[in-house]
Amino acid sequence: MPSLQLSTNVKPRDEAHEKELVLELSKFAAELLSKPEKYISVEFKYVPTLTFAGTFDPAFLMVITSLGNINPEANDKYSKALFEHLNKRLNIPGDRGYITFYDPGLAYLGYTGTTFATIFGSK
């Protein structure tokens, strides 16, 4: 864990480009969030009807779900880095997206048929 869900109205050139973008975001997120990439999950959705500020200009929505490292100070760092990354890779201006940061808590995230609270022995 963490998972990143990215929706954007910026269309990848082709399937290979889309996969390249997803794998780059996975590596980038692992470093940024200080989590092993083996636990990172990235979902990329091309949504041509995504609007922002009343236009179809390049934009995105992102939800990051992560355990134990979502807090106001870290979120500022994450936000800055992710906005820069998306600008660089998808040419999305810094005022054309939202990132939602979410830490559901150990007992509210399932993995391997149990929850992280059980895995880490804390309920």
- In this prediction, residue 1 carries a pLDDT of 83
Catalytic (active-site) positions:
2
Asked whether the predicted pLDDT for residue 122 surpasses 90, the reply is: no
Residue 123 has pLDDT above 70, yes or no: no
Domain residue ranges of the chain, discontinuous segments joined by +: 3-119
Name the pTM for this structure.
0.93
User: At how many degrees (to 10) do helices 15-33 and 72-90 cross?
Assistant: 150
pLDDT at 28 over 70: yes
Mean pLDDT rounded to a whole number for the chain: 96
Domain 3-119 sits in CATH at 3.30.429.10
What's the pLDDT score for residue 69?
95
Express each pLDDT in 47-96 by its tens digit.
Answer: 999 999 999 999 999 999 999 999 999 999 999 999 999 999 999 999 99
**How many angstroms separate the CA atoms of 82 and 89, rounded?**
10
Tell me the one-letter amino acid at 32. L
